[in-house]
Amino acid sequence: MKCQEPLSDPSVDLCRACGTRERWFDLAISLGPYEGAWGELVRALKFDVEPAVARFLSSRMADYLLNQEPLGDIDVITYVPMTRRALRQRGFNQARLIAQGLGRRIHRPVARLLRKVHETSPQSRLSARERRRNLRGAFRSIRSIHGKVLLVDDIFTTGSTVEECAHALKNGGCEEVFVLTVARA
């Protein structure tokens, strides 16, 4: 109900993570699973600097939001930021590219609302608990904003990155934070 984690028991509607503690985001949805085509697109976006991939992904997100209307009306779109150093190394922020394309397509402003304060170790080998600890305090709100915010990123794994971002956004005054990612790992 809250993060799209597939559940084997049809009688429950929240996964373990959402059921045992409060999530800072209100709802997290993804276009599709990381295995297969969506994961390939995410990898192409991150490593090949292919603008056509970002355009394609933002148009799919826009189609999804406009046709299914899972989130209702959104006031502003933002994205998961990178540290200045990581941004220099890669040269672009893939989440920002998707967010900007999406904003143009659904006619909503895209704003930089968060700053990544310090670099975190790569998340892929960490447990869910370690991921949360690794990211604690990593993001700060840089602009106070009210209303409904859509936070865009490429992958949702345990949700700890978007959760930290949602926490910072709510500290900054956002009333609701929805998360839209390309792929769900």
Which residues would be at the binding site for Zn ion (CB under 5 A)?
2-3, 5, 15, 18
Question: In angstroms, rounded to a whole number, what is the distance separating the alpha carbons of residues 78 and 165?
Answer: 10
CB of residue 127 to Zn ion, shortest distance in Å? 16
**115 bridge partner residues:** 140
Count the residues in the chain: 185
Nearer to Zn ion, 145 or 179 (CB): 179
Closest to Zn ion by CB, 3 vs 145, is 3
13 or 40: CB nearest Zn ion: 13
> Which of 86, 61, 60, 87 is closest to 74 using CA atoms?
61
Output the smallest distance, CB 155 to Zn ion, in A: 16
Instruction: Decide whether 3 or 174 has the Cβ nearer to Zn ion.
Output: 3
Taking the complex as a whole, how short is the minimal distance between the CB of residue 7 and Zn ion, in angstroms? 9
Q: How far is the CB of 22 from Zn ion (least distance, A)?
A: 12
Question: What is the rounded distance in angstroms from the CA atom of residue 180 to the CA atom of residue 176?
Answer: 13
Distance in angstroms (rounded) separating the CA atoms of residues 98 and 74? 16
Output the smallest distance, CB 52 to Zn ion, in A: 33
Burial 76-98 (b: 16+ CB within 10 A, else e): bbbbbbbeeeeeeeeeebbbbbb
Q: What sign results for the dihedral spanned by CA atoms 59, 157, 42, 75?
A: positive
Of 2 and 46, which has the nearer Cβ to Zn ion?
A: 2
